[in-house]
């Protein structure tokens, strides 16, 4: 049974959570886990919307099969697959310059996403992940240059290095 004192404590706690938020605060000394899986909707859109297509068999590197999808507006979408046929990357180029790139582990978890505000120039925040989704590194680009604080974590989530640019 809840007595009057306990009701007051519960009310105070809920009021605090409402005003201050109950999310754990990340002090950047440990990384969190963010499950960011392969975007199947993007893959479906790429595979359904193209004007021409070809498959490249690659004997070098991690990407064994590269599916090239071309659109008349000079967009080239690539779906990169490993030797087992599992998608390991997506790349989008416009007029020969990257505008999006993401790589994946074999479990579908993102290795990292790179955005390009201007085609070919990395810009904005970036995150890189371990296979379990734990953040491996975070940082920021400004027109192709690393800026600000970059955090790198070990596989257990402990801060390894902090670099300032």
Assess if residue 44 is contained within a domain.
yes
DSSP 8-state secondary structure symbol assigned to residue 31: P
Residue 74 near residue 56 (C-beta atoms within 8 A): no
> Position of tokens 């959570």?
17
Assess if residue 18 is contained within a domain.
no
Task: Quote the CA–CA distance of 50 and 71 in Å, as a whole number.
Answer: 5
**Has residue 33 got a pLDDT over 90?**
no
Question: Which pLDDT value is given to residue 22?
Answer: 44
Tokens of 17: 């959570």
Assess if residue 10 is contained within a domain.
no
Question: Which pLDDT value is given to residue 145?
Answer: 94
Residue 143 near residue 118 (C-beta atoms within 8 A): yes
Assess if residue 92 is contained within a domain.
yes
Question: Which pLDDT value is given to residue 34?
Answer: 85
* Total domains in the fold of the chain: 1
Task: Quote the CA–CA distance of 144 and 53 in Å, as a whole number.
Answer: 30
Question: What are 110's strand-pairing partners?
Answer: 104
Assess if residue 46 is contained within a domain.
yes
* Mean pLDDT confidence for 124-139: 94
- pLDDT tens per residue, range 107-117: 999 999 888 87
Residue 46 CB contacts under 8 Å (≥ 6 apart), including other chains: 69, 77, 79, 90
Assess if residue 130 is contained within a domain.
yes
Question: Which pLDDT value is given to residue 151?
Answer: 96
3-state secondary structure 121-139: EECEEEEEECCCCEEEEEE
For the entire predicted model, the pTM comes to: 0.74
* Mean pLDDT confidence for 148-156: 95
Question: What are 67's strand-pairing partners?
Answer: 55, 79
Assess if residue 33 is contained within a domain.
yes
Using DSSP's 3-state secondary structure scheme, residue 25 falls into coil
Domain range for residue 57?
Answer: 25-164
Assess if residue 7 is contained within a domain.
no
Question: Which pLDDT value is given to residue 118?
Answer: 82
């Amino acid at each position: 049974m809840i007595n009057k004192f306990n009701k007051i404590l519960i009310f105070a706690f809920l009021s605090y959570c409402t005003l201050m938020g109950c999310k754990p605060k990340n002090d950047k000394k440990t990384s969190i886990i963010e499950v960011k899986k392969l975007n199947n909707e993007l893959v479906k859109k790429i595979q359904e919307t193209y004007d021409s297509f070809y498959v490249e068999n690659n004997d070098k590197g991690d990407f064994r099969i590269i599916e090239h999808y071309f659109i008349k507006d000079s967009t080239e979408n690539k779906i990169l697959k490993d030797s087992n046929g599992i998608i390991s990357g997506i790349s989008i180029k416009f007029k020969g310059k990257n505008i999006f790139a993401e790589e994946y582990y074999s479990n579908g978890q993102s290795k990292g996403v790179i955005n390009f505000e201007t085609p070919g120039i990395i810009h904005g925040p970036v995150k890189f992940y371990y296979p379990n989704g734990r953040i491996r590194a975070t940082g920021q680009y400004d027109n192709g240059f690393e800026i600000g604080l970059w955090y790198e974590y070990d596989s257990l989530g402990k801060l390894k290095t902090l670099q300032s640019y």
